[in-house]
């Protein structure tokens, strides 16, 4: 990286108390033009420090800050590693936290208990505002298996 590019790069970084180096940008993953190519800023930071990223790996954030370009906060991992990290850190919307969830975890437990007690899924689907297929998937734990 030449001096002019380095000055542009450094001008967009703000170091914060958490240790993150926040890269200015409006996208969730800010971008930077380098050598006539648009890069995700965090990925470019890794490449500049360590070289190319193998095809099957991602540059992941330990700090959960997608705008961070501090390489001390990054690690290489597979897509599954990245998903597992997201779920473990509870950054993944699932269950009643999902924006389109129609019922709470307590209602899921209630539905399963009432089906075990002999109530018809069809009547429960109407009561809870769900389709018969959706209610069946909940009962069979194809949906909301975490409850």
Overall domain count for the chain: 2
Residue 112 lies in a domain: yes
**What single string gives the DSSP state of each residue in the chain?**
--HHHHHHHHHTEEE-TTS-EEEP-SSSS-EEEETTEEEEHHHHHHHHHH-PPPTT-EEEESS--TTB--GGGEEEE-HHHHHHHHHHTT-S--GGGSTT--S-HHHHHHHHHHHHTT--HHHHHHHHT--HHHHHHHHTTSSSTT-
Residue 145 lies in a domain: no
At 35-60, the pLDDT tens digits run 999 999 999 999 999 999 999 999 99
At 100-112, the pLDDT tens digits run 778 999 999 999 9
Q: How far apart are CA 138 and CA 111, in angstroms?
A: 8
At 19-41, the pLDDT tens digits run 999 999 888 899 999 999 999 99
Residue 147 lies in a domain: no
Residue 126 lies in a domain: yes
Q: Are residues 38 and 105 in the same domain?
A: no
Write out the residue range of the structural domain in which residue 109 sits: 96-139
């Amino acid at each position: 990286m030449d001096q002019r590019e380095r000055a542009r790069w450094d001008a967009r970084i703000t170091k914060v108390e958490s240790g993150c180096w926040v890269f200015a940008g409006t996208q969730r993953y800010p971008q930077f033009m380098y050598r006539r190519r648009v890069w995700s800023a965090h990925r470019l930071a890794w490449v500049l420090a360590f070289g190319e990223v193998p095809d099957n790996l991602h540059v992941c954030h330990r700090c959960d800050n997608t705008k961070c370009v501090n390489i001390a906060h990054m690690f290489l991992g597979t897509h599954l590693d990245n998903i597992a990290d997201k779920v473990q850190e509870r950054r993944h919307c699932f269950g009643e936290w999902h924006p389109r969830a129609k019922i709470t975890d307590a209602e899921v437990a209630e539905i399963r208990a009432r089906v075990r007690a002999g109530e018809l899924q069809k009547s429960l689907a109407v009561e809870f505002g769900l389709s018969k297929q959706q209610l069946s998937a909940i009962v069979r734990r194809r949906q909301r298996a975490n409850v």
